[in-house]
Structure 1
Amino acid sequence: MLMLFIRSLRVRRRGIAYDESIMYGIQTDVLKPGTTEEYVRYAFPLNNTTLLSSFTVCIRTKIIQYREVVPIFSYAFSDRADNALMMFQSRAQLDYYINDQKVSSGLNLRLDDRLFVWHLYCMVITHPAYWIYVDGKLLKEDRLTTPSTDIPLNGTLYIGQEQDRYDGGTDPDQTLSGFAAQFNFWDYVLEERTIKNLAGCLENLRGNVLSSDFATFDQPGVTSEIVPLQSLCTEEPMFVVFPLRRQVTGARIFCGILDGMFFVPEDEKTNNRLHEETNMFAEVCDFKSYRRLLLAGTDEEQEGVWVNFNTGKRLEFTSWFDGEPNNGKNDNCVVLRNDLPQWGDINCEYSNCFSCGMSSKNYFFIRGLCKPDEHRIRFIMDGYVNDRPYFRGYYGMAIFNVGEGTWVFKDTMANLTLATMTMEQPEEYPLGRTVWDVLEPFCDFAVGDKLRLGLSPCTIEEFMCSDGSCVPRNVRCNLREDCVDGSDENDCGIVLFSGRYASHRPPPGRTYREVLYIQPHVHIVRFSKIDDINLAFYMEFEVHLTWTDRNLKFKNIKEEEDKNKLSTEEVDSIWTPEIEFLNVNDGLLKKLKSNVYARQTGEAEPPDFNDAMMETVYLPNNVALVSKTFYSHSPATSTLFS
C-alpha cells in the first residue's frame, strides 16, 4: 500500500499527471507592445537561509514575438545581485549571467531563432564548472572565475521578465511574448542523459527545489492551462486559409510563391481545426453547393488511390463524407465541406478557396526599409485581421488589409500607420514589389514620399520577381526570362549614378588628388588597301580605352564582358575619353562602331538585405569601363590619344 501511495504522488499532484505540464501564455497578443504588467513570478521565503553551489535550472519556452531582449528567466536576491541567475535571447544569440557576471560575454552562442518553436534551456552549475544545454545538446562548458557560486534561496524569480533590481525594475522592451512551461530547479547536478530525456519529452522530472507544475506562481494577466507533455515536443501543423477562388493549379502556384505548400490535413485534430478556421470565410467561400475549401489530394494518376498533391504519397488520413468519393474518373480532386469537417471529391477545374501549409521555417522578408540587421525584416503569415490573412513582423510591424484592396503598413508597438497602398485587384496580396504612400516619417522617408517595398520569402542569395517568386540571383539580366512574369529582365541597366554625377568632368584617379590613368590598346584588324603611288595605306582597327570611374557604382555585372554592354542612354550620361587622330590622309577617317562595356575586376559587394530591388552591386574599384571603337583610317605618320 505504501508503494502504491508513493507512486500516486509521482503520477498526479495538484491535479497534474506525470505526462502533463502547465503551460503559461505570457503577453500573447502580438499586436500590442510589451508590458511589465504581465509576468510569471515566484517569491522564495525571505527567511530562507539555504545556499546552493551545485544546482540545475531548466525551462522550456516558445517565442511568438521578438523584443529587443527576450528574457527566459531572471533570479535576483538583492538590488546589487539583480542578475544572480539569468538567461536571455537577443535575436539568434543566447546570453546568461551567473552570480551577477555576464559569463557569456564574447562567446556568441548561436540559437535557432524561429518563432513558434519550443526550446528547453538548462543551466548546470557545480562550482567552478558550469554547463549550458539547449534542447538536450551541450552548447557551452566552461569554468567560472568567481570564488564561489553560493546562491541564496530568498530572492524572486521572474519568467519572461528581466529584473534590474530585487523584485522589480522590469522593462517593457525586455519581455517574453510567448509561452513557458517546465521551469524546474534542482539542488543537484542533473546527468546529461536526463537532460536529453527532458528535452525529448521522454521524461518529466520535476525540480525538488521548485517546479512550475507544483508551486503556486503569481501570474497577473497570464493564462495557464494543463497540456500533454508530448505537445511540448511537437510542432503543430500550421496553415493559412485564403478567401480566394482558384483552381487547383492556381492554388499550388500561389502557395509556392509563399514558400508554402497546398494543404491537406494529415490527422483528425488538424482537419477539425481547419474546418473551424474556415467558418469566418463562409460568405466568400460557400458560393456553390456544399463546397468550401480545396484540399491537396488527388487520384488523377490512379483512380481510387488518393495521394498528396505535393509529395505523391498515399493519404494516410481521409475524412470522406458518407457516399464519397462518388464520381469516378470525372472528379479527381478533394474539397472540404462547409457543413461538416468532411470531404468530397470534385472536378479539378472547379474554383474554390484553399489553404497553404506553412512551418516555422517559412518566413518572408520586407525589403526597402532601414533595419540594422536581417532578423528585423522577417515577417510571417500569422492569423487574420479584418477577415484576411495578414503579415506580421518579428518585431511588431504588421501589414494587413483594411478593405477594398487597401493595405496598411503599421508599427503596432507605436500604434502608427506608416504607409498605405491599394492593389489593382482588391482580392490580391501585396507580394513582390509594390509602391506605398508614406503617412508618417520613418527611416529617411517623409510624409508623401513614394516607398518601394519588396515582400517575399526570397533570401539574399536569390532575386525577387515582381510577383514575389524567387529565382537564383545569378540569372538576373542574363537575357533569358527566368521569372514567370519576365521581371528578371526588366531594368537591366548597368550604371548606378550618384545624385551629383557630372558627365562633363573627368573622374579622379586612384585617389581624388591623382589624375586619371587611361590604358589604350590598338587592335589592327586588316589592311584594306595599299596605295604605292601615293605612299598611303588604308586599314581597319579597333581602339580599346580602359579606365575606372570612381563616381559610379555598377550592378548585375557578368563575368563575360560582352554581356555588360552599356545602353546608349548610359553612355550619353557618363564621362568617356575622347580620341584625336593627327595627320589623317585627306580626312579619310570613319568611325564604324562604338560601344562601352563594364569589365568585372573584383567581387561584388555583400548583398544589401534592405534593397527592395535585390540588385548585385559592385563598387567602382571592382569594375573597369572599356570603350571599344572600330575605325577605318588612312594615317600619315602618327596617331595621338588624349
Structure 2
Amino acid sequence: MVPRRSWSGLAGASHFSPVWDPVHDEVNLLIKMLTTNHLQYYATSFLSAKDSWLFVWPCDPLGHGEDIRVFALQPDIWAAPRSDVYLRFNMSRQRVASSLTDMSVCYRAYQTALTTLQVFLSYATADSSSNAIMMYVDDGEHFFRFNNQPQEAARRVRVPTELRRWRHYCHVLAGETYTVYVDGEVAASGPISGDDRVLPLNGSFIVGQEQDGFSRGMDEQQILKGYVTQVNLWDRGVSGAEVGDMASCRTNTKGNIFSTDRDDVELVNVQERNASLGDLCLREADFVIFPERYTYLEAEEFCRFVGSRMYAPRDARKMQMFNETKWKERLRFRTWLAITDEEEEGVWRRAEDGQALRDVAFAPGQPDNGKNENCIMSGGTDSLLNDFKCNGTIKGSVVCEDQTDVPLFLRGGCKVARTMTMFEIRGYVLQKPYFHGFHGEMILLAEEEEDERRKWLWLDAARNVTLASLEVASENVYPFGRRAWTLEAPVCDRKVGTTRVLSLSRCTDSEYMCADGNCIDIAARCDAKDDCADQTDEDDCDIVTTPPDYRKFKPPKNDLDPNLPLHPEAEVKFLRFHKIDDVQQVNYLEFILTLRWVDSRVTFFNLRSDLFANKLSASEREKIWTPELDFPNALNGDVKTVKTNFFIQRTGEPNELDFNNVNMDQTYSGSAATILLQTHYSGGFVCDFDVFFYPFDVQRCGVSIRLASVSKGQVRFTAVRSRARYGKYVPLPTYIVGNPVTYTLTRRYTLIVLSVFMPSILLLAIGYSTLYLKIIQIHHTRPLDLRVLALSSHLLAYDLCHVSLHQPSYQNEGKHSHFRCNESP
C-alpha cells in the first residue's frame, strides 16, 4: 500500500487542488471559480479516503469562436482505467446514406495518460465485423482499419508521443487513396488496402473505447484517457484546405453523416462541457516550481537538466497564476524568473523570446541597482519582484516551463513498450513535483508513518501498489540518474527486498546518460575524454562481450552461408627483405599478416568510425575465438612475432536502443562489424632455388601460412579472399620482387653480367691475343699471360665479394651488421 502523503495538485494544474482535512481524515468537495482578467477557471474534484480522482478541463472559455462540445473520457491520471466510459451513436439514426465508399473522419483529442492500446474510434456493423472503422495507437505506432482491412499508410505516421496537447486527426479515403492528416498536415498517404469499399451505415459508432463485438466486448486497456471533441464523419473526401481550416480552429465544419456538435450522442459515464473553438488552438506554457535553492546560473542549468528552460510569465494573468500556485502549494520562497533587462536597461524582457513586459510589479524601491542587477526574483511572502545580479551568489527556488514535448525516461523496469518508460513532471506532493508515467505509474516523495522519514516511491497508481523505494541523502535530492532502488514488489523477476538499478533522465536514444542524469552526445561515450562531470562516460569501455554459451574453441560460422566453412580474408604485406641467401636457399624478411572475419555470436559496444579507436585490450582478446597459425616453410620453424593488434572495423549500423537499458550504450550485432587481427612477423623462409639459367634465373618463393588446430570443414583460406603486396618498392641488389600471392625473385642479370662476366671476358681476350705475338717475343708474352690469369682470378673473387656487400643490411635500434672480405695472402 502507498504510505501516507499529501494529495495536493494531483492533476498537475497547480491552481486547483482538493483540500485535505487531517482531523476528520476526509476530503472536502471543492468547487472553485476564480475570475482574473475575464478568465474563468473551472475545476471539480471528487476525492475519498479510499479512492481519488481529479480532472481539470484543458481549455478555458475565453470566447474565441463558436462553442463546441468537449467530452471527458477518464482524464484522471490517478484512477484505474475502466471499460464502461465512452460515447456511442447508432448510425442507423442518420438519414443521409445507407452506405458509403468514400469517407472522411476527423476528430480532436487531448490525452492525459495512455493504456496498452489508445483507441480513438471504433465502428462495428456486426460481431464478425467489429473493426469496420478503427483508429488506435500502440506504443507510438498508428493504425487505421477500414472494413476490417488495415491501411498500411497509417503505420508511416510519425508523431511524437505527447500528453496534455490537443491534436487534430483526419483520415480521408477518396478514390483509390488513403490520406492521414495530423494537425492539418499530411502525415502519410498511400493506396487504399482491401477490395470491399462499401461500408454499411447501420452499426455502432463508439468514441474512446474498442469493441470486440457489436457494441460489446469492451477492454479497459483499449480506451482513450483524456478529452475528445469535434468528431465528424463525411461520405466524401474532404480537401486539404478544409482539413487545415479545421485543424487551425478557423472553422468547425460538421460532418454530413455524423457530428458530435450536431447529433444526439449517448454519453456512457462521460462528462460534457462547452468550450470556445479558438481556445483549442491556444498553447500557453505552464510551469513547475522546484523549491530547492539555486543561484540564477544554477537555476538555468537545472532547468536544462530536466529538459526545459526557466519560466517567465507572459502577462499579468500568468503572473497571478504563478503567485497563486506558490501560496496554495506553500512554496512561498524567493523564486528566480527568466526576466532580464540586460539588453536594454529598464526594459524588462522574457529571456526566452525577448518579449517586453509592461507593468512589472516591483517591490517598493525596486529595481535599485541599475546596470549591475539584471535578473529578477519573485519575493517569498509578498510575491513582489526584486532585481539581483545574474552572476551573484543570491539563491532562490527555480521555476521551469512545463515542457510536454520533452519526456523523461525511466529505464530498467523491464517494460514491454517504450511509452511505458516515459514520464512527465507534474506537481505537487509534499511541496515537491512528482513524476507521472504515461501509463499510470508515479514517482513521488512520500513520508513514512512510523518515523516520518521521507523517501521516493515508484508506484502503480491504478493498482495502488508500491513497486520500489529509494532513500536519498536529503529530500532535496531528486531520483535522477542511475540509482539502486529497493523493490517493494516483484519487478523483472526480482524478489521483494532486492535492489535494482533504475535510471531517470531526459536523455534520448541519441544521447548517453551520465550517472548523475546529465546527457551527452552518444559519440562522446568512451572517446578518452571526460565529457560527463562525474567522468562516468569513460567507465566500462570494453568494446566486445560474449554471451554465456560462447565457446572460444569453436570458430564462428560463415556469415554468408552457415553451411560453408568460415573463409577469413587474408592479406600479406611484405615490408622488407633482409637477406637472400642463394647458397642456403633462405629468404630473411618481415611482413604483416592481416586476417579479417565476422563472428556473429558476439556483441560490440560504442564502435567508432576510426578503426584505430576500436582496439581490443588484452583481456578482450581472450574472450573471442582467434585463428592459430603455423608456417611450414619457416627456417627451423622459428618465426618471430614482433607485434600483434586486434581491431574492430564497423561495417553496419547500431542496433535499435533497448528502451530498458540503463547504461544506454550503443550496441552492434556481431554481423555489423569485422574482427581484424594484424600481426607483424619476422623470420627466414626456405625457398627451392633453381639456378640452371643463372644469371637469367627467376625464383618463385613464398610464405606458407597454415591454419592449425581446426579442420578445413570449419575454416579455410581461399584464393579469392587472399592477397599479397610488397610495401614501399626498394630494388634489391640482385633481384626484383614481383607481386603475386607467392612473391617472385627475378635476378638482376645486368648487374651480374657487367660486374662479373664483362671484366673476365676482357681479360681473357687480352690474354688470348698474346698468342699471336712472334716467337721472338715469347719472353714478354709468358709473364703477361700469367699476370692476366692471376688478375682475372683476383678480379672475379673481388667482384663476387663486392656483389655480396650489396645485400641489404638489417637495421635494429641503430645497430648495423657489417660484412668484410678477407684477401688471400
**Alignment TM-score > 0.5, same fold:** yes
Distance 1:22 1:527, change over 3 A: same
Over residues 24-61 of structure 1, what are the superposed CA-to-partner deviations in whole Å (9 max), with x where a residue is unaligned? 222111132210243345678x9887755578764322
The answer for the alignment partner of 1:624 in structure 2 is 674
TM-score normalised over the length of structure 2: 0.64
Over residues 377-408 of structure 1, what are the superposed CA-to-partner deviations in whole Å (9 max), with x where a residue is unaligned? 33222333443223333223333333567333
The answer for the alignment partner of 2:603 in structure 1 is 553
Distance 1:419 1:126, change over 3 A: same
Choose the corresponding residue for 1:102, options 138, 148, 151.
148
Q: What secondary structure is seen at the aligned counterpart in 2 of 1:408?
A: strand
Choose the corresponding residue for 1:319, options 360, 367, 388.
360
Tell me whether 1:412 sits opposite 2:453 in the alignment.
no
Tell me whether 1:562 sits opposite 2:612 in the alignment.
yes
Structure 1 contact 320–344 (Cα < 8 Å) conserved: no
Distance 1:328 1:81, change over 3 A: same
Distance 1:333 1:562, change over 3 A: same
- Which segments of 5 or more consecutive residues in structure 2 lack a partner in the other structure? 1-62, 448-452, 688-702, 709-825
Q: What secondary structure is seen at the aligned counterpart in 1 of 2:339?
A: strand
Partners of 2:254 and 2:264 in 1: how far apart? 14
Following TM superposition, by how much is the alpha carbon of 1:575 offset from its aligned partner in structure 2, in angstroms? 4.1
The answer for the alignment partner of 2:374 in structure 1 is 332
Q: What secondary structure is seen at the aligned counterpart in 1 of 2:314?
A: coil
Paired residue type of 1:468: G
Partners of 1:426 and 1:484 in 2: how far apart? 22
Choose the corresponding residue for 2:323, options 275, 289, 301.
275
Partners of 1:126 and 1:632 in 2: how far apart? 75
- Which segments of 5 or more consecutive residues in structure 1 lack a partner in the other structure? 1-15
- More moved, 604-613 vs 574-583: 574-583
- Map 1:239-258; keep pairs closer than 5 Å: 239-258=287-306
Partners of 2:487 and 2:514 in 1: how far apart? 23
Following TM superposition, by how much is the alpha carbon of 1:246 offset from its aligned partner in structure 2, in angstroms? 1.3
Distance 1:84 1:526, change over 3 A: closer
Partners of 1:81 and 1:639 in 2: how far apart? 72
TM-score normalised over the length of structure 1: 0.80
Choose the corresponding residue for 2:527, options 456, 478, 486.
478
Partners of 1:539 and 1:124 in 2: how far apart? 75
- More moved, 593-602 vs 513-522: 513-522
- More moved, 619-628 vs 236-245: 619-628
Partners of 1:573 and 1:197 in 2: how far apart? 63
Distance 1:52 1:490, change over 3 A: same
The answer for the alignment partner of 2:401 in structure 1 is 357
Following TM superposition, by how much is the alpha carbon of 1:345 offset from its aligned partner in structure 2, in angstroms? 1.7
The answer for the alignment partner of 2:228 in structure 1 is 180
The answer for the alignment partner of 1:384 in structure 2 is 428
Partners of 1:310 and 1:345 in 2: how far apart? 18
Q: What secondary structure is seen at the aligned counterpart in 2 of 1:274?
A: helix
Partners of 1:47 and 1:516 in 2: how far apart? 70
Following TM superposition, by how much is the alpha carbon of 1:261 offset from its aligned partner in structure 2, in angstroms? 1.1
Following TM superposition, by how much is the alpha carbon of 1:174 offset from its aligned partner in structure 2, in angstroms? 1.8
Following TM superposition, by how much is the alpha carbon of 1:194 offset from its aligned partner in structure 2, in angstroms? 4.8
Tell me whether 1:366 sits opposite 2:410 in the alignment.
yes
Tell me whether 1:465 sits opposite 2:511 in the alignment.
no
Partners of 1:396 and 1:161 in 2: how far apart? 18
Partners of 1:389 and 1:327 in 2: how far apart? 34
Partners of 2:521 and 2:432 in 1: how far apart? 31
Partners of 1:555 and 1:625 in 2: how far apart? 13
Partners of 1:127 and 1:544 in 2: how far apart? 61
Paired residue type of 2:408: F
Structure 1 contact 390–398 (Cα < 8 Å) conserved: yes
The answer for the alignment partner of 2:690 in structure 1 is none
Q: What secondary structure is seen at the aligned counterpart in 2 of 1:303?
A: coil
Distance 1:598 1:48, change over 3 A: closer
Following TM superposition, by how much is the alpha carbon of 1:558 offset from its aligned partner in structure 2, in angstroms? 2.2
- Map 1:479-498; keep pairs closer than 5 Å: 479-498=528-547
Tell me whether 1:61 sits opposite 2:109 in the alignment.
yes
Tell me whether 1:32 sits opposite 2:32 in the alignment.
no
Structure 1 contact 331–345 (Cα < 8 Å) conserved: yes
The answer for the alignment partner of 1:7 in structure 2 is none
Tell me whether 1:259 sits opposite 2:301 in the alignment.
no
Structure 1 contact 135–199 (Cα < 8 Å) conserved: yes
Following TM superposition, by how much is the alpha carbon of 1:202 offset from its aligned partner in structure 2, in angstroms? 1.8
Paired residue type of 2:613: K
Following TM superposition, by how much is the alpha carbon of 1:159 offset from its aligned partner in structure 2, in angstroms? 3.2
- Map 1:190-229; keep pairs closer than 5 Å: 193-204=241-252, 212=260, 219=267, 221-229=269-277
Over residues 154-183 of structure 1, what are the superposed CA-to-partner deviations in whole Å (9 max), with x where a residue is unaligned? x76543223445554322112211012234
Following TM superposition, by how much is the alpha carbon of 1:515 offset from its aligned partner in structure 2, in angstroms? 5.7
- Map 1:42-61; keep pairs closer than 5 Å: 51-53=97-99, 58-61=106-109
The answer for the alignment partner of 1:230 in structure 2 is 278
Paired residue type of 1:351: K
Tell me whether 1:299 sits opposite 2:348 in the alignment.
no
Distance 1:502 1:197, change over 3 A: closer
Q: What secondary structure is seen at the aligned counterpart in 1 of 2:152?
A: coil
Structure 1 contact 405–427 (Cα < 8 Å) conserved: no
Structure 2 contact 485–500 (Cα < 8 Å) conserved: yes
Q: Which has the larger radius of gyration?
A: 2
Partners of 1:580 and 1:58 in 2: how far apart? 73
- More moved, 419-428 vs 80-89: 80-89
Q: What secondary structure is seen at the aligned counterpart in 1 of 2:222?
A: coil
The answer for the alignment partner of 1:604 in structure 2 is 654
Structure 2 contact 546–602 (Cα < 8 Å) conserved: yes
Partners of 1:427 and 1:307 in 2: how far apart? 31
Structure 1 contact 36–172 (Cα < 8 Å) conserved: yes
Partners of 2:181 and 2:676 in 1: how far apart? 58
Paired residue type of 2:76: D
Distance 1:623 1:384, change over 3 A: same
Partners of 2:431 and 2:339 in 1: how far apart? 26
Distance 1:559 1:97, change over 3 A: closer
Following TM superposition, by how much is the alpha carbon of 1:236 offset from its aligned partner in structure 2, in angstroms? 2.9
Partners of 1:544 and 1:362 in 2: how far apart? 48
Structure 2 contact 544–602 (Cα < 8 Å) conserved: yes
Following TM superposition, by how much is the alpha carbon of 1:63 offset from its aligned partner in structure 2, in angstroms? 1.4
Structure 1 contact 376–394 (Cα < 8 Å) conserved: yes
- Map 1:77-96; keep pairs closer than 5 Å: 87-96=135-144
Over residues 112-156 of structure 1, what are the superposed CA-to-partner deviations in whole Å (9 max), with x where a residue is unaligned? 34222213345678999998655445666988965855535xx76
Distance 1:544 1:222, change over 3 A: same
Choose the corresponding residue for 1:343, options 358, 374, 385.
385
Partners of 1:509 and 1:515 in 2: how far apart? 7
Q: What secondary structure is seen at the aligned counterpart in 1 of 2:425?
A: strand
Structure 1 contact 18–204 (Cα < 8 Å) conserved: no
Tell me whether 1:499 sits opposite 2:586 in the alignment.
no
Partners of 1:487 and 1:195 in 2: how far apart? 50
- More moved, 389-398 vs 185-194: 185-194
Structure 2 contact 646–676 (Cα < 8 Å) conserved: yes
Distance 1:103 1:566, change over 3 A: closer
Following TM superposition, by how much is the alpha carbon of 1:66 offset from its aligned partner in structure 2, in angstroms? 1.7
Following TM superposition, by how much is the alpha carbon of 1:354 offset from its aligned partner in structure 2, in angstroms? 0.8
Structure 1 contact 96–102 (Cα < 8 Å) conserved: no
Choose the corresponding residue for 2:481, options 428, 432, 457.
432
Q: What secondary structure is seen at the aligned counterpart in 2 of 1:621?
A: helix
- More moved, 352-361 vs 569-578: 569-578
The answer for the alignment partner of 1:5 in structure 2 is none
The answer for the alignment partner of 1:120 in structure 2 is 168
Structure 1 contact 405–424 (Cα < 8 Å) conserved: no
